[in-house]
Amino acid sequence: MNKDSKKNPSPKPQNKNSEKTSWGGVADWYDNYLETNKDSYQEKVIAPNLLRLLNIKSGTKILDLACGQGFFSRKFAAAGAAVTAADISSELIEQAKKHSPKISYSVAPSHKLGFLKDNSFDAVVIVLAIQNIKEMDETFKEARRVLAPGGRLLLVMNHPAFRIPKRSSWGFDPKDGKQYRRIDGYLSLTTDKIVMHPGQKASEATISYHRSLQDFFKALSKNNLAVTRLEEWISHKASQKGPRQKAEDLARKEIPLFLMLEAKK
């Protein structure tokens, strides 16, 4: 049985809401990366943990917000969910529709979801996208509006305490044989261009907004969303044999890559 779900709400694609986004220029690269890399963090770390937390039942109504090319939308649908998905990038939505035409995809910014009804979803999921969204408060407000009473918002992001654009890095202390994480700044909100293909002459850049943990908690509280769970997820990878193998593997286990926040309406 095809579980892309015939029960999905069917809002019309909101192409009038399409806006120029930094991710439009890397849509083809991103799609190829996710579809061909079976050892990605998305495949090995994030998807299994999300499916565990969502505990999807047949017909569970999920909004995949800032869905990109639909990688996670398809995971949710395969588990039996009725999936609706939206992204600001028309290029990414075009890729998503090619992969799974039965899922309801719309082009829309995360803070403008007027085409979706109030109280209509069991869960709203924003995966590796909230740090690319300028209008965080408005996005949380819209997420709460479309969530059914008791519904959950699940946010997955690069860990804001350890992965801070241009202000964090790995270091190695040869004296102690330890790998460590250097943090040069944390509390200040910053906006940064992230080069997607370093070293290439013509490399597109995406925009990332760093926010502290308290920024996320304050924004969720402001929009009457109560944080009910926090999880920190580590890398699944392992280093090859060498003088730093033990230190690198230990650092992977001790310093998480990703943060998951769950908030309920």
Q: Is residue 187's pLDDT more than 50?
A: yes
Helices (H) and strands (E) in the chain, counts: 8, 11
Give the mean model confidence (pLDDT) for residues 52-69: 97
Which of the pair, 161 or 6, is modelled with greater confidence?
161
Q: Is residue 8's pLDDT more than 60?
A: no
The CA R_g of the chain, rounded to the nearest whole Å, is 19
What residues have CB less than 8 Å from 157, skipping those under 6 apart? 128, 130, 131, 258, 259, 261
Q: What single-letter amino acid sits at 157? A: M
CB 254 within 8 A of CB 137: no
Domain extents in the chain: 15-159+211-240+256-264
> 13-27, 137-151, 219-233: which has the minimum mean pLDDT?
13-27
What residues have CB less than 8 Å from 213, skipping those under 6 apart? 160, 161
- Taking every pair of Cα atoms in the chain, the longest distance, rounded to a whole number of angstroms, is 61
CB 8 within 8 A of CB 82: yes
Output the average pLDDT for the chain: 89
Q: Is residue 16's pLDDT more than 90?
A: no
The CATH architecture that domain 15-159+211-240+256-264 belongs to is 3-Layer(aba) Sandwich (3.40)
Which pLDDT score is estimated for 200? 53
| pTM of the complete model beyond 0.85 | yes
Q: How far apart are CA 210 and CA 233, in angstroms?
A: 19
Q: Is residue 247's pLDDT more than 70?
A: yes
Which pLDDT score is estimated for 202? 52
Q: Is residue 11's pLDDT more than 50?
A: no
Q: Is residue 9's pLDDT more than 90?
A: no
Q: Which of 82, 126, 89, 84 is nearest to 107 (CA)?
A: 89
